[in-house]
């Protein structure tokens, strides 16, 4: 588990982290999102032991991150948003070089490198020079490089930025497979539709503070709970409007085309009971569902203000850069 507790970090008069608290469970795919300058990079550097907090604690697998940098290197793989510049190296030479950084040079390592290149689809191109690779191939190679030492934790910075749709799909499949193998994966990204589809957990940071963190399904349920219920009626709306007027949990009703949009404050069970009462009252209900929310709207809502708040929806390489 990775845990940051009330972490503060300043650079001069700039507060990069202002009491940040976050928790990443083992085996999670954690989407870490926030506006530019919100503190994501500083938090990631803390996890890697490359930065130290002014106040608070950063724990990785029960180790204080800043005091155990050498041990952390063996547990963390990092995929930056750029590959670095190694134009005169062949792909296999690049992989061998980083294996040496971890003092890995036996036959088992050679087999692992071949397996990783095969995983990312570059095994047959391993004798090509780095400068012949397009953006997608470079990012795949960066992923393979980050996995050389079989880290328990994989941190990825904008892994699908600038990739074509096919390569993005391939990357998402590889990430899901790595999570299935037991790795904890942290994805720093603002591609919110991918975060919602791929991640199990999410943390939204703004002005150095966590404004929302939790299981992705619970966060989306929370978003949806504030959206109206849409009721589609086959025929006249009169009987439906009459039935809704008597329900104390219906706060407002509006009409869109032949649908009713209602603000409803009840639970999911109350929603089911409402539908049952409408049907028993003879209302010809054709459809009944909550209007779906999305992470983008939530993100804009939470990061569009300087108000500090925290909402939780959990139940209760030598260095790590390439250039």
Cα four-point dihedral sign 178, 123, 158, 7: positive
pLDDT single digits (tens) 52-61: 999 999 999 8
Task: Give exposure, 195-232, as e/b (b: 16+ Cβ within 10 Å).
Answer: bbebbebbbbbbbbbbbbbbbbeebbeebeeebbbbbe
- Whole-model pTM? 0.78
pLDDT-wise least confident of 96-100, 248-252, 269-273, 318-322? 318-322
Residue whose entry in the numeric block shows the structure tokens 């004798």: 127
Rounded distance, CA 134 to CA 162, Å? 11
pLDDT single digits (tens) 148-198: 999 999 999 888 888 899 999 999 999 999 999 999 999 998 888 888 888
Q: CATH for 228-290, among 3.50.50.60, 3.30.70.100, 3.40.50.150, 3.40.50.300?
A: 3.30.70.100
Inform me whether the pLDDT recorded for 321 exceeds 70: no
Inform me whether the pLDDT recorded for 204 exceeds 90: yes
pLDDT at 110: 95
Mean pLDDT of all residues in 211-217: 90
Three-state DSSP state, 203: strand
Mean pLDDT of all residues in 5-32: 95
Taking alpha carbons only, the member of 174, 130, 183, 194 closest to residue 155 is: 183
Neighbours of 257 (CB within 10 A): 5
CB of 296 closer than 8 Å to CB of 304: no
Higher pLDDT, 34 or 305: 34
Confidence band of 20 (pLDDT split at 50, 70, 90): very high
Phi first, then psi, for residue 135 (nearest 5°) are: -60, -45
Inform me whether the pLDDT recorded for 222 exceeds 70: yes
The reply to whether 228-290 shares the fold of 2-216+298-313 is: no
Output Rg (C-alpha) for the chain, integer angstroms: 24
Per-residue DSSP letter, 123: G
pLDDT at 210: 94
CB of 31 closer than 8 Å to CB of 199: yes
Residue whose entry in the numeric block shows the structure tokens 């012949």: 132
Report the Cα 260 to chain-centroid distance in Å.
35
Cβ-proximal residues to 81 (8 Å cutoff; 6+ apart), any chain: 157, 158, 159, 161
Rounded distance, CA 301 to CA 230, Å? 22
Residue whose entry in the numeric block shows the structure tokens 């589609």: 232
Per the prediction, the chain carries an average pLDDT of: 87
Rounded distance, CA 96 to CA 113, Å? 8
CATH class entry, domain 2-216+298-313:
alpha beta
pLDDT single digits (tens) 126-142: 999 999 999 999 999 99
CB of 76 closer than 8 Å to CB of 48: yes
Cβ-proximal residues to 320 (8 Å cutoff; 6+ apart), any chain: 48, 50, 73, 76, 78, 155
Q: What is the largest CA-CA distance in the chain?
A: 78
Higher pLDDT, 184 or 70: 184
Higher pLDDT, 224 or 65: 65
pLDDT at 69: 82
Per-residue DSSP letter, 81: S
Rounded distance, CA 320 to CA 60, Å? 16
Please give the structure tokens belonging to residue 142.
Answer: 């960066």
Inform me whether the pLDDT recorded for 83 exceeds 80: no
Rounded distance, CA 285 to CA 262, Å? 14
User: What are the sequence ranges of the domains in the chain?
Assistant: 2-216+298-313, 228-290
């Amino acid at each position: 588990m990775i845990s940051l507790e009330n972490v503060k970090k300043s650079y001069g008069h700039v507060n990069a982290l202002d009491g940040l608290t976050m928790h990443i469970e083992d085996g999670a795919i954690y989407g870490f999102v926030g506006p530019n300058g919100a503190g994501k990079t500083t938090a990631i550097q803390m996890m890697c032991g490359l930065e130290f907090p002014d106040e608070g604690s950063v724990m990785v697998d029960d180790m204080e991150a800043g005091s155990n940098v050498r041990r952390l290197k063996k547990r963390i793989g990092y995929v930056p948003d750029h590959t670095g510049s190694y134009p005169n190296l062949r792909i296999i030479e690049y992989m061998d070089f980083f294996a040496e950084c971890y003092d890995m040079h036996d036959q088992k390592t050679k087999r692992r490198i071949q397996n990783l290149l095969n995983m990312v689809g570059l095994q047959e191109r391993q004798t090509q020079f780095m400068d012949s690779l397009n953006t997608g191939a470079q990012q795949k190679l960066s992923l393979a490089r980050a996995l050389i030492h079989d880290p328990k934790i994989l941190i990825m910075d904008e892994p699908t930025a600038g990739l074509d749709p096919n390569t993005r799909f391939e990357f998402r499949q590889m990430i899901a497979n790595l999570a299935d193998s037991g790795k904890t994966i942290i994805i720093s990204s603002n591609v919110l539709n991918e975060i919602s589809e791929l991640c199990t957990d999410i943390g939204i940071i703004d002005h150095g503070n966590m404004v929302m963190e939790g299981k992705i399904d619970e966060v989306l349920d929370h978003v949806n709970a504030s959206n109206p219920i849409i009721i589609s009626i086959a025929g006249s709306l009169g009987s439906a409007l009459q039935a809704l007027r008597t329900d104390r949990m219906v706060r407002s009703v509006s009409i869109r085309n032949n649908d009713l949009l209602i603000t409803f404050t009840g639970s999911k069970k109350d929603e089911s009971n409402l539908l049952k009462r409408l049907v028993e009252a003879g209302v010809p209900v054709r459809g009944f569902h909550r209007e779906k929310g999305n992470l983008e709207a939530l993100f804009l809502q939470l990061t569009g203000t300087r108000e500090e708040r925290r909402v939780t929806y959990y139940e209760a390489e030598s260095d790590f850069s390439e250039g």
